[in-house]
Structure 1
């Protein structure tokens, strides 16, 4: 019997090629999207699952108080590890991790060749006992016991030394530290939150000898004993804080985060070292999207199957007259659906393979084809096949098989108003979702354009930040500045601790000497020319001076307007004022600049101060006026290499850095645009199916109207208006939902657009036009048909 059902299914596919093509195409697209999204979910869920003791590994979190906005940090004090090793027996192993120079790119020299490394860390020896990495050369035991030793990844070893064993060789870090290579480990997997390319001994840095409770800059990991409870460890950590930190200095508490939660549950955690952060909300949204698109594809199958119901009912009637039971007919319809779905899955797998590179660009992440061979994916395909067959085949199987032979042989009757209502309702749901996606796409695009065009308060264009932290000699730095100033392409040069968009020092600005009222103040040491180079708007006073003697104890400060507003004075009144901001007793304001966005537009502008204090100058900021960027870059590189031949040329364009800050939003925009288009296409297939069904149901009515003189335009309008009604209902449902969702998304930005009526006008007009174009094909086809053919069946 099953064999006969398959033969019948294949004959029906060949008999109505247009219907079969549309049906299989709709299901294939829906299934391909589901597979792609499922691949993404599998990858995100697979993070950090490769470590043997993953369920016992925790990262320590640092919860700040309300004065610091209750932020959660991934870094904690260096003194915590030795204290825990002595006082918390539930912790089997602990290890600290420090991102080189607080996250700055390192300059590496190997055999007179310069490299840059952005993933250089320092760790305790226990790190390899907790995470148990495999080693290509050497072994994990006691690798980082000695100072000035490093282990490197396999890819780094190939880059630096080729195929030889590099153990015993040395590398120079920042033109300063000579480090001996003691091992080579296999690269961290792509789905590991940890991603270091070089790991040095923690004993090589000063924080090891003098660990402090006040500097929270170190990721710290615990491997708990098998029977240990995380809450007990948290309680004992707090007791250690109470014993070592004065009560007035306890502006934080400590917590634990399971390793298995690090990737997906850290979007609100600051100072994390990993560059591979996921989002549980994104995983949930993609999972929901996969289910919804699969349901929409199944709905389309139902609508298209219903459109053929006139032919199917006669077939059912004949079969029932000849003695076929309802169960046999149900089995036949489900077999037909399973056969069509199987064909769709085969096509969908091809679509998935071909569209994978495009999908990777949309989500900004690589997806290995190995995931398609995993047992989870294969089981998911079987589950999708079963569920699609069950959902898509349920309506034709259960609806058409239950009528009596007399009923199904009578054509032209609307047998069940509920099913017609259900079909229309499903189309409304489809178009509501499409309209919401259209509005979301427009809002995201407008917000990104707003960010792109907003005046940041400084000019990021034609400005380059060159890392000079590996240049140890002040005379070399001054020589480098003079060399750049002599280039015709350069309009201004200065040196600074940092630049807008990256982390600088954090302090507190107090109202006055006797006040406890304070706000957070970002401070950035800089030299003269910072106003000209960044093209800041100077409101009062003057720029920082060009040179400062080391014996000079006066700290000149350039405040922004937000800081001056907190002090309750005007920019002019601030000039010459001695401020209390942990910059020393002799910190005086010499200038005030207008507010500028030194952070993301997601955050409001806070207090900021340029100063000529004593933090290291890590960057040279260069403003240039050349449009020939490749040639200018080569000239800058050559000038840098002459002055500092042992330092790698590491640079960042400020405008590119600003663009990078909003890469996530651009990915969201691309995803919204793509899925909006696909959702609209799938919804159009649903409309096509419903239009075919309604045209089929009203064949004789159309014939009678044409005989009585109705024109093609009259009949087209008659059929089209029903669908316009459905779209209008969808708009009424979609508009408030879309407005609420867009407002919620925009709340993430301190500076955002207003959602105007134009957005809804664009979405509504687009939806109506799409519906008209889709329906018109069937409507015109029905209107121009010969009325004799539609009436002769009576």
Structure 2
């Protein structure tokens, strides 16, 4: 019986090639999009599943206790790890991570080669056991037990040494520290939160010798004992903080390791370069399901558009004794065969689209994942569900009709099925209009961010890494060398710059004694000029300081001064408490500027010139002209002359700031592409309903033509019905889209206001698409020979 169903289904597909192609095309595109998005969701939800102890690992989160702005940091003080392990029995081991120079790419020398290593970390030796590092060479038990030892990934070993054995060889960091390579470990997976290329012993840092409760710059992971209770451990952590820290400005909590990747998008100071977003996963999952539903609805509309030809066939079969069950089986066999063909084509489309999808999203999806057992199982379930949904209406509705009703022509006008089909079209266009509005709003917000006055000018500024400089003399020599160029208009050395994490501290109000979070940046006098900051009061930092001068000059932004409760002019000359000693004085006040994401309100910020804080990490070079390649070459030549034996590493400030909005740009790109395809699929459904309507009203059209109706009037008559459906879709879509996009915009402290123009444009697009889709069948029906349609019964 089943074999006969398949044979009949194949004959029906071949007999009606146009509609079969439209069905397969719509389902293939819908399923292809669904496969891609589900593959993305699989990738994101598969993070960190490779670690055997993952259910016992947790990350320490720091919560600031600022009364005005409470933040959550992924970083914690260096004393946290050893203290927790010593004092809390449920914590078996801890691992501290310190990304070299607080996230700066490292310049390393290997065999006379100068290389940039962006993922250079220090970590406790317990990293090997807690995260179960697989060693290819070396002894994991002793690899990081000594200072100045280092382990490198397999790919880094090949990059540094080719096929040579790296064990025992030396690696020089920034021309001042040598490390002995004691191990080679297997690369971390692309779906691992831990993504180190190089791991040096934490004992090599001064932080290991003098652990502090103040400098929160270290990611700390804990390995809990079996059956440990997180709430109980967190209570013990709170007691320990009260014991160790006088008037702490933070509290701690534990984040289960399996949640680190997807539930950390709103946290700051994370060292990993792979930060996911559960909202993005949910949105794309919803988009995948929505497009799959649209594709299924499209199938229903197309298959029922040919239902008039099927009515008599079904009626005759039922008259000859065919059961309802057999009719249902035949319809589902036909749907199943079409969806199976579509699944095969969708796999091909997904494989071809993966490279483009990877470029758009920045995610490393692999087509091989489509053929893993879990994904094949999911694909099988998707095929079954799609078959059941897409075939439900034609199978269950038409099979239930009585034979005497089916074969009568009166069925064509009395059946309520047309209302169902119209409702499905309304759903398709409502979803499509919401997608169109969503994409337009996301792009408007991105453009708003791109064009907003940030309070400083990031254009034409290059940040050059100078961590390898031996001393301040070298830095000053490079600055002077660059300033001799006609292409360079300003140079400043600094600990960091807007868009890069600097030192987090507390600024104290001397009257209320309350603290407030503040970012502090060790820099020089040129920073105000290079960033084009607006000086509200006072002066910039002094260009030169006398030897032995212990005064720390500070420039605050207006947000910090407002917290102190004084005006910018009153602030100048006053002493300020922000963790820079007792001799820190306010020299100037600049206007507020966005040094972080526009999702967050502007915070307090300070520039200072504390000489005891070490060398600066970056040289900010402001240039003029459009010949960027030649300017970069000039900067590189000067860099290599003054700081030899170091790799030249740079970034553009404006491009660096864009990384805050990677998720939004990704959603906009994916949304635009898939919205266009969703609208196309919806148009196929509308095309099917237009064909069905023209077929149903063929006799009416013939009569109207006989009594003198023009082609234009008949086309208008048929088109108005569909424009009514589109109008209903717009009425439903506009409030839903407004609610959804207003909710999304709440994530930004600085955002656009929804404009009625967006809704009008989306409405016009929907109407134009509907008219263009329907007009083909409307004009074709209007121009048909009326005699032919009147003779048909």
TM range (shorter): over 0.9
**What residue in structure 2 maps to residue 211 of structure 1?**
211
Distance 1:230 1:51, change over 3 A: same
- For 1:628 and 1:55, how far apart are their aligned partners in 2? 53
- Identify the match of residue 545 of structure 2 among 541, 545, 548: 548
**What residue in structure 2 maps to residue 772 of structure 1?**
771
- Answering whether residue 551 of structure 2 is matched by residue 557 of structure 1, we say no
- For 2:220 and 2:118, how far apart are their aligned partners in 1? 20
- Answering whether residue 608 of structure 2 is matched by residue 611 of structure 1, we say yes
Q: CA deviation at 1:68?
A: 6.6
Distance 1:335 1:718, change over 3 A: same
**What residue in structure 2 maps to residue 100 of structure 1?**
100
- For 1:394 and 1:284, how far apart are their aligned partners in 2? 27
Distance 1:494 1:269, change over 3 A: closer
Count of matched residue positions in the alignment of Structure 1 and Structure 2: 791
- For 2:308 and 2:192, how far apart are their aligned partners in 1? 56
Alignment of structure 1 residues 74-473 onto 2, 5 Å: 74-246=74-246, 248-249=247-248, 251-414=249-412, 417-473=415-471
Q: CA deviation at 1:200?
A: 0.7
Q: CA deviation at 1:560?
A: 2.5
- For 1:790 and 1:148, how far apart are their aligned partners in 2? 91
Contact 2:66 2:516 in 1 (8 A): no
- For 1:566 and 1:81, how far apart are their aligned partners in 2? 33
Q: CA deviation at 1:412?
A: 4.5
1:564-590 deviations in whole A, cap 9, x for unaligned?
A: 344444444443333343334343333
SS at match of 1:620: strand
Q: TM-score, normalised by structure 2?
A: 0.96
Contact 1:412 1:697 in 2 (8 A): no
- For 1:751 and 1:243, how far apart are their aligned partners in 2? 41
Q: CA deviation at 1:439?
A: 1.0
Contact 2:300 2:391 in 1 (8 A): yes
**What residue in structure 2 maps to residue 738 of structure 1?**
737
Distance 1:637 1:383, change over 3 A: same
Q: CA deviation at 1:612?
A: 1.9
Q: CA deviation at 1:710?
A: 0.9
- For 1:642 and 1:164, how far apart are their aligned partners in 2? 31
SS at match of 1:270: coil
Distance 1:69 1:562, change over 3 A: closer
1:522-579 deviations in whole A, cap 9, x for unaligned?
A: 2222222222222222333332221112311233232333333444444444433333
- For 1:184 and 1:110, how far apart are their aligned partners in 2? 15
Q: CA deviation at 1:420?
A: 2.2
SS at match of 2:477: helix
Contact 2:354 2:366 in 1 (8 A): no
Distance 1:68 1:371, change over 3 A: farther
- For 2:36 and 2:140, how far apart are their aligned partners in 1? 38
Larger deviation: 538-547 or 306-315?
A: 538-547
Alignment of structure 1 residues 633-672 onto 2, 5 Å: 633-672=632-671
- Answering whether residue 579 of structure 2 is matched by residue 576 of structure 1, we say no
Contact 2:530 2:620 in 1 (8 A): yes
Q: CA deviation at 1:170?
A: 0.8
- For 2:571 and 2:60, how far apart are their aligned partners in 1? 42
Contact 1:466 1:652 in 2 (8 A): yes
Contact 1:428 1:726 in 2 (8 A): yes
**What residue in structure 1 maps to residue 487 of structure 2?**
489
- For 1:53 and 1:531, how far apart are their aligned partners in 2? 49
Q: CA deviation at 1:774?
A: 0.7
Distance 1:222 1:584, change over 3 A: closer
SS at match of 2:699: helix
Larger deviation: 287-296 or 433-442?
A: 287-296
Contact 2:104 2:617 in 1 (8 A): no
- For 1:94 and 1:566, how far apart are their aligned partners in 2? 37
Q: CA deviation at 1:351?
A: 0.9
**What residue in structure 2 maps to residue 791 of structure 1?**
790
RMSD: 1.9
- For 1:650 and 1:48, how far apart are their aligned partners in 2? 30
Contact 1:64 1:71 in 2 (8 A): yes
- For 2:280 and 2:453, how far apart are their aligned partners in 1? 31
Distance 1:559 1:268, change over 3 A: closer
**What residue in structure 2 maps to residue 690 of structure 1?**
689
Q: CA deviation at 1:349?
A: 1.1
Distance 1:561 1:104, change over 3 A: same
**What residue in structure 2 maps to residue 629 of structure 1?**
628
1:444-473 deviations in whole A, cap 9, x for unaligned?
A: 111111222222222212211112222122
SS at match of 1:95: strand
Q: TM-score, normalised by structure 1?
A: 0.96
Contact 1:302 1:392 in 2 (8 A): yes
Q: CA deviation at 1:497?
A: 1.8
Query: Where does structure 2 lack aligned partners over 5 or more consecutive residues?
Result: none
Query: Where does structure 1 lack aligned partners over 5 or more consecutive residues?
Result: none
Q: CA deviation at 1:276?
A: 0.7
- For 1:263 and 1:371, how far apart are their aligned partners in 2? 20
Contact 2:432 2:675 in 1 (8 A): yes
Distance 1:623 1:599, change over 3 A: same
**What residue in structure 2 maps to residue 16 of structure 1?**
16
Distance 1:411 1:425, change over 3 A: same
**What residue in structure 2 maps to residue 40 of structure 1?**
40
Alignment of structure 1 residues 522-541 onto 2, 5 Å: 522-541=519-538
Larger deviation: 151-160 or 480-489?
A: 480-489
Q: CA deviation at 1:315?
A: 0.7
SS at match of 1:67: coil
Contact 2:455 2:593 in 1 (8 A): yes
- For 2:537 and 2:70, how far apart are their aligned partners in 1? 34
Larger deviation: 5-14 or 574-583?
A: 574-583
Q: CA deviation at 1:67?
A: 2.8
Q: CA deviation at 1:693?
A: 1.5
- For 2:588 and 2:61, how far apart are their aligned partners in 1? 39
1:669-689 deviations in whole A, cap 9, x for unaligned?
A: 111211211111111111111
**What residue in structure 2 maps to residue 71 of structure 1?**
71
Q: CA deviation at 1:775?
A: 0.8
SS at match of 1:164: coil
Contact 1:132 1:140 in 2 (8 A): no
- For 2:314 and 2:356, how far apart are their aligned partners in 1? 45
SS at match of 1:585: coil
- For 2:657 and 2:81, how far apart are their aligned partners in 1? 37
